[in-house]
Amino acid sequence: MLSVILLGLVFSSAGLVGAGLLTWLGLVSFANINLVPFSFMNALTTLGLLFMYESVFEVSRVRDFLIYVVVSFFFHAGRLSVLLQGEDKRLRVFFLSAGHTKNEYVLNYLFKRSIRKNIASLLLCWGLMSLTIALRNLGSWKLQGFWIGVFLLCLGVTSFLLDRKY
């Protein structure tokens, strides 16, 4: 059971680091990286994808690692995109007009302000990953897990479409 908890933490942390680096590159450099397409990845969508994956495929350490880290990356990138969409553009202009660089704005303001939300995102993703890995060991849920995953995926995408702002 301890290995399940540690694996969930490793997968969630790797995804958060990757999403954080992508966000930082998009904000600091001149690369035009748009995180809005990732915002469909909410908790329901993530859990649905993981349930479907676990019910269809057998255990493979390398493939499991890649799938879990990619899903975790998409989850954290989606959470960061929602966080960044809520930022006030006027405050950014004020901060930059005061003589600060983009790098200082991102490091001194955005990342410090988002630490609690990133920790909450890490804990939520950790719980989703650990739950899915723990349920893998139950052989009786495989067939139901696929249909539950499809249902959760549909609910997650529908809730995203209904909640988004135009």
Tens of pLDDT along 111-150? 777 888 889 999 999 999 988 888 887 767 777 888 888 9
Does position 29 have pLDDT exceeding 60, yes or no? yes
More confident: 42 or 38: 42
| Extents of the domains making up the chain | 2-163
Question: pLDDT tens digits for 60-117?
Answer: 889 999 999 999 999 998 888 877 766 656 677 777 777 777 777 777 777 777 888 8
| Residue closest to 70 by CA, chosen among 54, 42, 85, 50 | 50
Sign of dihedral through CA atoms 94, 100, 104, 106?
positive
pLDDT at 166 over 60: no
pTM for the predicted model, two decimal places: 0.83
| pLDDT score recorded for residue 99 | 79
d(CA 4, CA 24): 30
Q: In this structure, which long-range contacts are made by residues 93-101, counting pairs with CB atoms below 8 Å and at least 24 apart in sequence?
A: none
